[in-house]
Amino acid sequence: MREINASIGFDKRLWREDIAASLAHVAMLEAQGIVSEEDESAIAEGLERIQDEYALKGVKEDPALEDIHMHVEARLAELIGPAAGRLHTARSRNDQVATDFRLWVRNAIDEVEAALAAFQRVLVARAEEHAETVMPGFTHLQAAQPVTLGHHLMAYYEMLLRDRSRFADARRRLNESPLGAAALAGTSFPIDREATAAALGFDRPMANSLDAVSDRDFALDYLAAATLCALHLSRLAEELIIWASQPFGFVALPDDFSTGSSIMPQKRNPDAAELVRGHSGRIAGAMVSLVMVMKGLPLAYSKDMQDDKPPVFEAHDLLVLSLQALAGMVEKTDFNAARMSDAAEAGFSTATDLADWLVSRAGMPFREAHHLVGRIVQLAEEKGCGLADLDLDSLRAIDARIDERVYELLNVNASVRSRTSYGGTAPEGVRERIAAAKKALGEA
């Protein structure tokens, strides 16, 4: 029973939050005349000493004390004697752990927010370097239309921007204080929940005591945002893995973020990217784990909820590490612009430009133009050349309305320059978006 009941092995991570919440609680008890000034002073001094001890040496675990709350209270009793018992007046471990966990998740969101912003700065910097670097854009992993590498990297900037908004929304929703809800029904002591909420940086106390001790939406909010963010990181990691393979050769990964083989000396393996890709599955699994814990629990508190913290702790550690590792990879990766441009030229990626030209210059319906361009691509395949290498007579044999102006757009550089619609890949548009991103990130 002691082994299954104890949570100190993982909830010791909450020691900072537990002490902070206890300091706010005892200050309120003294202000409300519930404990004496002398006892409040002794308790506060004892808590601050414990805080210094834990910061220096960590938490000395005793499974008999079950959790971090009992560890702090037991150590406080050793330091100041019976007065330590007054700390728990008008408080339950139910509202205590709910408060501590909210404070921890709030701090975790702030840490992720900083890591996301740092990664965005890396993406923007590399995108600015490559605002005109042409590469194939893909659908179904088949060359589709030419885009710029800068445009491609800025797509991930946008994904991370949405991630930041989701974490910000989660933070806003969680920023209510459960402290003072006690076990589930509130307390008969004349406490001031507004005061403890303000002292801990919450916007307000939670309005329903049952909800206050039983809610873990804030943890699920965090895990949902973390899962989507991890999926975005996994997509970029997968692209780096593909681009680093010899058939692609779009990138040379930095030595700092790749490894060698134990038997093949020529290998440079994208292990960091592969681990980011793997971590995304574990983060998604953490979300599913907590969903399953919470799905059938009646109000208010059940011991199942002790299992709320391990998946959040694991997901957070993996997410921050993944963000830092992938940012380092992108910052130091060498992009092979020539290889990318050659790949864009080789994939008939300007076929859509040709179809658009037939619509705008020759006035034919798009479906007819699409059919004609299919015949032109087939001809280029038969001749073993690119679209720009077909002579005018061959093109006019397919449709007499084609003239020499068509060669102005069959070049991949001309193609990307023509994509000037808002959000398109034209370098000028990419640079405008980069400028806006730098301003948003405080760099302009």
Q: What pLDDT does 264 receive?
A: 57
Write down the pLDDT at residue 2. Answer: 86
Specify whether 349 is catalytic: no
Q: Which residues contact 80 (CB under 8 A, 6 or more apart)?
A: 42, 43, 45, 46
Measured CA to CA, the distance from residue 337 to residue 163 in angstroms comes to 29
Does residue 415 have an active-site annotation? no
| H or E stretch at 64 | none
- Mean pLDDT per 10-residue section of the chain, whose length is 444 residues: 90 97 98 98 98 96 93 97 96 97 98 98 98 94 91 98 98 98 97 98 98 98 98 98 94 82 65 96 98 95 94 98 97 96 82 82 83 87 83 85 80 88 95 97 82
Find out whether the peptide bond into 388 is cis, omega within 30 degrees of 0: no
Q: Is the pTM of this model over 0.85?
A: yes
Whole-number pLDDT of residue 279: 97
Q: Given this model, what pLDDT does residue 34 score?
A: 98
pLDDT at position 410: 79
Question: Which of the residues 36, 245, 261, 302 is marked catalytic?
Answer: 261
Q: Which residues contact 240 (CB under 8 A, 6 or more apart)?
A: 251, 253, 270, 273, 329, 330, 333
Q: List C-alpha distances in Å: 239 to 213, 323, 334.
A: 43, 15, 14
Q: What pLDDT does 444 receive?
A: 59
